[in-house]
């Protein structure tokens, strides 16, 4: 840890000093360049409007291999459906809904890979601006350090975070946890070839956007699962930096669970008592599923509760569009559900789920912080999502990242997801590993084991 911190200070100080010298020599020129650069930092409005929706066919180095690039899901050919998996997050209905109700400044890119005339794979990309100063809200340090050291380190961390401002080409989905960025037809090409084609294509997509006037500062491949880690080493060979973030918390349902009581019977008495205490505390709240009309009627309140949670989250790269949840309900129907908790007739909290094949995905939620203190609404939400999963016969619940300890107390297990990032700036790329480690939120949690 001392080595990482020292390397970060040394590397970052070198960069800062170099920038200072350049500023003295070329102050006027640099001010103009910075102004132009700032205009291009957020990927929306004028640049994107000028580019418009487009599609292109781009060759790859492999014999007979190429990909088609699209900037709107509405323009995708039927070859996308020929390749898409049983994953709702890579299907046109969801993709169009997100594209029509995007987080601010987000742009989209869709790739269809071919060998000869046959479609063999797809990839989904988002372009988003990343500023750690705004995305990582918990930049504090643990109390184990003396206050002077803690104050210095906190201020330095804030300073580092404030200096980073990048447009990233993201292969994956920033609204989700899990491998939702690509899929290839099984057996069409080797795993190594798949990742080689993806790496090559992402470089070409980045150049394509830059040719249209949008500065893309780096490429980020998000949430590669363990089984794909070996073939994804091509990214490391191509100077991408591998890192992990908080694990994905997933709960596998046991075959014998047909009711929620079956689950309770399989946990130890300690956790069963804890669960029943939580149920008692929330007894005064009324829980009910919201209809499509109720979701639209309450969209401002739903967004307000979501914002209260987001503003207190330790990490968040995107801010939802206000119409995202109601539009998702219209598009996905019964696959997307919102359950509300009412106190004296007022909506005090809610959670949402998406049925993704045999997985029940815990999606966005929100609640009044005071309500959580008084009736443990968040813990009850975790139990209720599990209850929903058992009722519909799902095989697993994807609780996603954050709040790992309380999710493990319900029975979720951590699964590491591997990410790869490469910056255009060689100096930044060299210091990325210690920089990412330094800026990541604390990961000090104890995994609970609730089962007998």
Q: According to the model, what pLDDT value does residue 10 have? A: 43
Q: Which CATH superfamily is domain 249-415 in?
A: Gcn5-related N-acetyltransferase (GNAT) (3.40.630.30)
* 193-222: average pLDDT: 95
Q: Where in the chain is the domain with CATH 3.40.630.30?
A: 42-135+164-245+417-439, 249-415
Q: Is 185 helix (H, G, I), strand (E, B) or coil?
A: coil
CA dihedral 146, 151, 156, 162 (to 10 degrees): 140
| Coil vs helix vs strand at 174 | coil
Distance CA 288, CA 302 (A): 14
Residue 435 vs residue 274, higher pLDDT? 274
> What DSSP state is assigned to residue 181?
S
Mean of the per-residue pLDDT values of the chain: 85
| 89: CB partners within 8 A, 6+ apart | 95, 173, 176, 180, 356
pLDDT band at 147 (very low <50, low <70, confident <90, very high): low
Q: What span, in angstroms and rounded, lies between the C-alpha atoms of 77 and 111?
A: 11
Kindly tell me the sign of the dihedral angle through the C-alpha atoms of 258, 264, 268, 271.
Answer: positive
Fold assignment, 42-135+164-245+417-439: Aminopeptidase (3.40.630)
pLDDT tens digits, residue range 319-376? 999 999 999 999 999 999 999 999 999 999 999 999 999 999 999 999 999 989 899 9
Long-range contact set of residues 272-276: C-beta below 8 Å, sequence gap at least 24: 274/409, 275/383
By the 8 A CB rule, do 336 and 289 touch?
A: no
pLDDT at residue 105 is higher than 70: yes
Alpha-carbon torsion, ordered 145, 151, 157, 159, to 10 deg: -170
Which residues, in sequence order, are CB contacts of 240 under 8 Å at separation 6+?
Answer: 199, 219, 221, 420, 421, 422
pLDDT at 192: 96
Q: What is the pLDDT of residues 169-206, one digit of tens each?
A: 999 999 999 999 999 999 999 999 999 999 999 999 99
Mean pLDDT of 134-159: 48
Pick from 259, 270, 256, 261: which is nearest to 449 by CA?
270
Range scoring the smallest mean pLDDT among 132-136, 370-374, 398-402:
132-136
Torsion of CA 39, 42, 45, 51, to 10 degrees: 90
User: Sign of dihedral through CA atoms 326, 327, 330, 333?
Assistant: negative
Helix (H) or strand (E) holding 186: none
The stretch 18-43 carries a mean pLDDT of 41
* Exposure class string for 403-419: b at 16+ Cβ within 10 A, else e: bbebbbbbbbbbeebbb
Interatomic CA distance for residues 180 and 359, integer angstroms: 13
User: How is 38-95 classified by DSSP, letter by letter?
Assistant: HHHHS--HHHHHHH-S-EEEEE-SSTTEEEEEES-GGG--THHHHH--S-GGGSHHHH
- Residue 136: phi and psi, rounded to 5, are -100, 105
359-367 and 396-400 strand pairing: parallel
Among 161-175, 220-234, 275-289, 352-366, name the one with the lowest average pLDDT: 161-175
- CA distance linking residue 181 with residue 110, whole number of Å: 10
Whole-angstrom Cα distance, residue 39 to residue 215? 10
The closest alpha carbon to 114, from 58, 67, 80, 78, belongs to 67
Q: What is the 3-state secondary structure (H, E, C) of 143-168?
A: CCCCHHHHHHHHHHHHHHHHHCCEEE
User: Which positions ≥6 away from 42 have C-beta within 8 Å?
Assistant: 105, 129, 167
Confidence of residue 431 (pLDDT cuts 50, 70, 90): confident
With a pLDDT cut of 90, the percent of the chain lying above it is 68
């Amino acid at each position: 840890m001392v080595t990482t911190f020292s390397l970060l200070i040394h590397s970052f100080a070198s960069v800062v000093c170099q920038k200072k010298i350049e500023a003295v020599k070329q102050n006027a020129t640099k001010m103009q360049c910075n102004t132009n650069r700032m205009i291009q930092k957020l990927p929306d409005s004028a640049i994107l409007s000028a580019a418009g929706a487009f599609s292109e066919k781009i060759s790859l180095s492999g014999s007979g291999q190429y990909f088609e690039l699209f900037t709107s899901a509405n323009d995708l050919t039927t070859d996308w459906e020929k390749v898409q998996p049983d994953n709702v997050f890579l299907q046109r209905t969801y993709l169009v809904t997100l594209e029509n109700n995007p987080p601010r400044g987000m742009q989209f890119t869709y790739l269809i890979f071919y060998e000869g005339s046959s479609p063999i794979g797809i990839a989904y990309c988002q372009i988003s601006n990343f500023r750690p100063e705004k995305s990582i809200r918990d930049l504090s340090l643990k109390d184990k350090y003396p206050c002077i050291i803690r104050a210095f380190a906190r201020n330095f961390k804030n300073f580092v975070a404030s200096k980073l401002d990048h447009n990233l080409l993201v292969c994956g989905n920033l609204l989700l946890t899990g491998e939702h960025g690509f899929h290839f037809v099984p057996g069409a090409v080797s795993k190594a070839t798949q990742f080689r084609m993806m790496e090559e294509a992402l470089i070409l997509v980045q150049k394509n956007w830059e040719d249209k006037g949008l500065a893309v500062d780096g490429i980020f491949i998000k949430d590669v699962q363990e089984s794909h880690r070996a073939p994804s080493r091509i990214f490391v060979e191509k100077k991408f930096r591998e890192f992990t973030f908080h694990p994905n918390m997933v709960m596998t349902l046991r075959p014998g669970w047909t009711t929620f009581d079956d689950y309770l019977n399989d946990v130890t008495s300690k956790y069963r008592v804890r669960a029943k205490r939580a149920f008692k505390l929330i007894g005064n709240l009324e829980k009910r599923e919201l209809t499509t009309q109720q979701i639209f009627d309450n969209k401002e309140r739903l967004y307000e509760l979501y914002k209260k949670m987001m503003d207190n989250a330790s990490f968040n790269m995107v801010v939802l569009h206000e119409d995202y949840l109601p539009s998702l309900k219209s598009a996905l129907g019964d696959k997307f559900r919102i359950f509300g908790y009412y106190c004296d007739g007022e909506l005090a909290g809610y959670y949402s789920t998406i049925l993704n094949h045999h997985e029940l995905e815990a999606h966005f939620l929100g609640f009044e912080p005071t309500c959580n203190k008084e009736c443990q609404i968040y813990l009850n939400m975790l139990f209720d999502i599990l209850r929903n999963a058992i009722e519909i016969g799902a095989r697993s619940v994807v609780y996603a990242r954050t709040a790992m300890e309380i999710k493990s107390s319900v029975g979720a297990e951590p699964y590491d997801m591997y990410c790869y990032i490469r910056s255009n700036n060689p100096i930044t790329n060299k210091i990325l590993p210690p920089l990412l480690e330094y800026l990541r939120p604390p990961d000090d949690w104890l995994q609970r084991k609730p089962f007998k």
